[in-house]
Structure formats: structure tokens, C-alpha cells
Amino acid sequence: MDQQTDIRFLLNGQEIIARDAPATRTLLDFLRIEQRLTGTKEGCAEGDCGACTVLVGRLQDGALRYETVNACIRFLASLNGCHVVTVEHLTGPEGRLHPVQQAMVDHHGSQCGFCTPGFVMSLYALWMQTPQPTVTEVETAIQGNLCRCTGYEPIVKAALAVNSYGSPVHDHLTRERDTITARLAALQPAGRVVTGPDDDRAILPADVDDLAQVLAETPQATIVAGATDVGLWVTKLMRPISPVVFVGHLEELKRIDLTDTALTLGAGVTYSEAESAIATAFPHLNDYWARIAGWQVRNMGTIGGNIANGSPIGDTPPVLIALGATLTLRNAAGQRTLPLEAFFIDYGKQDRAKGEFVESLSIPRPQPGQINAAYKISKRRDEDISSVAAGISVTRTGDIITDARVAFGGMSATPRRARAAEAALIGQPWTKAAFDAAANALSQDFTPLSDWRASADYRLLVAGNLLRRFFLEQDGQTSVRLDVA
């Protein structure tokens, strides 16, 4: 079979064939420099401000799904078979403003206007998905959009009013859904796609078997799913990452399997895709999940990537370790499964051999008596990297703590369990004293660092206090947490 050597996608109404697209070419540069579509702005080039927000529509199980993404860290090569929608596509042919745009104008939602196209796109996606949102839903939809002028009040008011300007039923993306679906279906490649120059090569495997094969052939390749971390290696650090193997399009890695005993997530499942299964199986993760990055990043980033990059401050590993998750790795020779905590060996070092990739993650559902909590501490509530993240799973049998798994991020070179704290809990009666003892034991478990996110003293103090919070919450005390109060 011939390999496809270009990247084909729809941009607004037009079909694009990007020949020899370098692996690290960003969508934003493509839009602004090559297409002169300058409505999409660069504010930070690291996926943290949202000025470059565009929609990407893609087929999933045959259905067309539009999501906001940060064009600044989205690689062009990852868009094969997708529909990119920019702010220029919103205005009607006769120049009439889109309901989102009209609401923003009428509510004075722009001042300097530089962030505005990005907000418009986020609000557009929200309106399509939730035409009549609550304030909280609006705030969640624009977690990934910074505005320095307005104080957000008029933007939120505009978002709440959009539906009174028009219904998504009449939106052109809704009306053209079948056409776009058919056009995208026609763009899906028959096999592997390889494109870009030798020193900036992009490879899109045909399927997971092919991925294993590609990695066997080029074990030095950089695996990219959502690019929410690797994107920054390129845009900020200018690090060479060729060849790049893109995996975000592989449907087999997007499987979500919820049974009575476990939730299994393919490594390519994004935070957004996992959201409803997580909420069903692990309701304690609900609030926590919505505090992972911003909406655009949750639409791109994968849980597999969050684990595979081995960061000590990733949001998901501590809570998954506490739940007893296991990880399945694969290469051309086969699969192996290991407890998640065993994957993290040291700072920057994971138990992943060359040619191996993370295939899936399995999280056992809570047993009777198992009490779970997830806490994130950060300087800013939303869209911030945690200074401390905690996953706490404690099994209470009668008045005795019979099991405890306590894991922290931000406390050491890897996300890991607090064995001394766990030991201080197991076998003890369910009392404040037991949790105080566990909190005090954390100083045996961890010697955290001081940096710009938090000092070592604060990290240790707050980590202990999170154990105390856990006890107080379970002890029936109300109002021990801002989010719940």
C-alpha cells in the first residue's frame, strides 16, 4: 500500500493538502503565516492563554465531534482528516455576526480585543454543546482563556445570553454536519502517513499494530498524543523531536471500557473524553477533573500522556496511584502490565523501554468501605499546575482503618505513595489522632523542594493538612472545603 505523504484536512470551507508538512509545524503558524488568517492570535505559545483557540472537528466512531484546542501547540500533522474552524468562519456570508459574536458586542465583552477571538471560539464550542449553560459551566469553558482587560464579568454575561441570539440548531456547523462528516470520512488515510523533511519527520501509524511496528523500526521516535507537553518542548525549548509518531488519531487507543470492577482507558483517551466515565466510576474525581488545565488542554491532552511523560507534578498519577491503577505497556513483542506507581522510577526516568508505548490504564472501582478523595493545591484555582496533588484511598472496616493508599504529586521527584503515612493509618482506629499521626509521618516520606509554585515548608504542611481535611470531611463536618461549601 502506498503511504500518504501529505496532511489533508478541512480549514473552514476549504480542503487543505499540506505537502511535506514538518512534524513540528504548529497549526497557529500555519494559520497566521501561511494562510494569513490573522484572527487567531499568539498570546503565549504554550497553551495557557487561549488567544489561539480554534475548533477542531474530528470523526470518532463515525460521529463528528468539535472541540476547542490551542492552535499554538497543536501540530499540523496531527490534523489529518480533521476540520479546523477559525474565527473567520463564524460570520455569515452577508457579514452578519454570529450569535456568540453579537452577544459579546452587546455585552461589551472586549476591550483591547486581542484575547477576544479565542473567547469567541470557546464560547462557540460551549454554546454548541450546552446552549444554556450555568455560570459554572461558562467558567469551566473559559478556564483556558485569559483576559487582562475586562475582569471577565461582561464575557460571562455574554456567554449566558448567547442562546437568546440564536440556537445551535441553525448554526452552519450543525447544518453542514452531514456534508462535513462525509468530507472528513473521505480524508481518512488508508494506511500509514509519513510526511515532513528528514530532520522533522511525522509518522501517523495506521493502527496500534502499526504503531508497535513503527516504534520497533524507530525506537528513538517521540510519541505525541495531545502535544500539550511536547508542544512546549518545540515552541518554548526549540528541542528537536524528530521523528515524531502521532498517536492521537488511533481509535484503538481511545477505548473506554467501564465494567463493574474497573475502568479501562486507552492511552489516547483525552481528559474530556474520559470525563463522563470518570464521573460515573469515581465521583470523587469530578471537581478534580475540571481543575486539570483548561478546557482546550483537556480536549487535547491524554491521561496516557500525563503518565508517560513522568512529570512529578502531573495531576492524574497521584489520584490514580491511590486508586490502585495498573498500566499496560506494549511493544512489537507483546504487552506487560505493572502497578502505576512502579512506572515512575526517578525524575525523568520511567519504566518504559525503547520501542514500548503506554497502551492502556486500568483503574479498579472502589470496594465497599473504601473512601476516596482527590485534592489539588495550586496558586490559582483553575488552569494551574499543582503545588501539591493528593490521592487518598482509605478503607474503613467498622471503626478500624484496614487499608490506606495515599499518594502525592509535587512532593518528590516522582508522584509516589506516602508509605510512612499509610503505615501510620493502617490498623488504627478511625480518629483524628490517626490522621494527625499520618500527617506527621509525611516528613519521613518526603523532602519536597522549594520553587516558584510553593516552598518546601508549605508543601509539607499542606500535604499533612489534606489528610486532616480528609478525616474532617468523612467525619461529617460540613464546610471544610471551599469547593463544597
Partner 1 sequence: MKDLSPLTGAVHHDRIHDSAIKHVTGRADYTDDIAEPAGTLHAYLGVATVTHGTIRTMNLDRVRQASGVVDVLTARDVPGVNDLSPTGRNDEPIFPDTVEYHGQPIFAVIAHSRDAARRAAELADVSYDILPHATDALSAQAAGLPQVTDPLKLERGDVAAGQATAPHRIKARMTVGGQDHMYLEGHIAFAIPGEDDDVIVHCSTQHPSEAQHMVAHALGVPLNAVTVNVRRMGGGFGGKESQMNLFAAVAAIAAKRLHRPVKIRPDRDQDMTATGKRHDFVIDYDVAFDDDGRIHAVDGHFAARCGYSSDLSGPVTDRALFHADNAYFYPHVRLTSRPQKTNTVSNTAFRGFGGPQGVIAAERMIEEVAYALGKDPLEVRRTNFYGTEGRDLTPYHQQVTDNIIGRVVDELADSARYQARRAEILQHNAQGGILRRGIALTPVKFGISFTATHYNQAGALVHVYNDGSIHLNHGGTEMGQGLNTKIAQVLADAFQVDFDRIKITKTTTEKVPNTSATAASSGSDLNGMAALDAADQIKARLVSFAAETWGVAADEVRFLPNAVQIGAEVVPFDTLIRRAYMARVHLSAAGFYKTPDIHWDRAAGKGRPFFYYAYGAACSEVTIDTLTGEYRVDRTDILHDVGRSLNPVLDRGQVEGAFLQGMGWLTTEELWWDDQGRLRTHAPSTYKIPLASDRPRIFNVALAEWSENRERTIKRSKAVGEPPFMLGISVFEALSMAVASVADYRVCPRLDAPATPERVLIAVERLKAG
List the interface residues with partner 1, window 248-277 (CB under 8 A).
Answer: none
Listed ranges 214-222, 376-384, 417-425, 440-448: which one lies at the site for partner 1 (CB under 8 A) = 376-384
Site string for partner 1, 115-134 (x = CB under 8 A): xxx--x--------------
| 76 forms part of the interface with partner 1 (CB under 8 A) | no
In whole angstroms, what separates CA 327 from the centre of its chain?
18
Site string for partner 1, 302-341 (x = CB under 8 A): ----------------------------------------
Closest CB 481 distance from partner 1, rounded Å: 7
Buried b vs exposed e over 36-63: b needs ≥16 C-beta within 10 Å? ebebbbbbbbebbbbbbbbbbbbbeeee
| 38 forms part of the interface with partner 1 (CB under 8 A) | yes
Q: CB of 426 within 8 A of CB of 415? A: no
| H-state helical runs in 130-207 | 135-141, 153-161, 172-175, 177-187
Q: CB of 336 within 8 A of CB of 328? A: yes
d(CA 91, CA 152): 23
**Mutual angle of helices 456-474 and 432-445, in 10-degree steps:** 150
| 91 forms part of the interface with partner 1 (CB under 8 A) | yes
Distances (CA, A) of 322 to 351, 416, 438: 19, 9, 15
Task: Closer to partner 1 by CB, 32 or 192: give it.
Answer: 32
d(CA 484, CA 478): 9
Rounded to 10 degrees, the C-alpha dihedral 383/387/393/396 comes to -120
| 413 forms part of the interface with partner 1 (CB under 8 A) | no
The C-alpha cell that represents 237 in the structure block: 525549548
d(CA 145, CA 119): 6
Closest CB 34 distance from partner 1, rounded Å: 12
| 96 forms part of the interface with partner 1 (CB under 8 A) | no
| 104 forms part of the interface with partner 1 (CB under 8 A) | yes
| 469 forms part of the interface with partner 1 (CB under 8 A) | yes
Q: Which residues does residue 193 pair with via DSSP β-bridges, in sequence order?
A: 4, 204
What does 269-281 look like in DSSP terms, one character per residue?
-BHHHHHHHHHHH
| 34 forms part of the interface with partner 1 (CB under 8 A) | no
Closest CB 108 distance from partner 1, rounded Å: 6
Task: Closer to partner 1 by CB, 48 or 359: give it.
Answer: 48
Candidates 77, 156, 253, 281: give the one binding partner 1 (CB under 8 A).
156
Candidates 12, 35, 106, 177: give the one binding partner 1 (CB under 8 A).
106
If one counts every other C-beta atom within 10 angstroms of the C-beta of residue 160, the result is 17
Candidates 51, 202, 292, 425: give the one binding partner 1 (CB under 8 A).
51
Element holding 417 (H helix, E strand): strand 416-417
Report the site for partner 1 in 418-447 (rule: CB under 8 A): none
Candidates 20, 257, 451, 475: give the one binding partner 1 (CB under 8 A).
451
| 226 forms part of the interface with partner 1 (CB under 8 A) | no
Listed ranges 56-64, 235-243, 273-281, 406-414: which one lies at the site for partner 1 (CB under 8 A) = 235-243
Closest CB 257 distance from partner 1, rounded Å: 33
3-state SS record for 303-336: HHHHHHCCCCCCCHHHHHHHCCCEEEEEECCEEE
Task: Closer to partner 1 by CB, 305 or 355: give it.
Answer: 305
| 161 forms part of the interface with partner 1 (CB under 8 A) | no
| 94 forms part of the interface with partner 1 (CB under 8 A) | no
Give residues with Cβ within 8 angstroms of 370, minimum separation 6: 393, 394, 395, 403
Closest CB 327 distance from partner 1, rounded Å: 26
Closest CB 277 distance from partner 1, rounded Å: 24
Q: CB of 356 within 8 A of CB of 264? A: no
Strands annotated E in 196-273: 202-204, 222-224, 244-246, 256-258, 262-266
d(CA 408, CA 388): 7
Listed ranges 102-110, 190-198, 314-322, 391-399: which one lies at the site for partner 1 (CB under 8 A) = 102-110
Candidates 3, 130, 218, 455: give the one binding partner 1 (CB under 8 A).
455
Size of the site for partner 1 (CB under 8 A): 89
Site string for partner 1, 383-402 (x = CB under 8 A): xxx-x---------------
| 109 forms part of the interface with partner 1 (CB under 8 A) | yes
Task: Closer to partner 1 by CB, 112 or 345: give it.
Answer: 112
Least Cα distance to 152 among 109, 113, 120 occurs for 109
| 228 forms part of the interface with partner 1 (CB under 8 A) | no
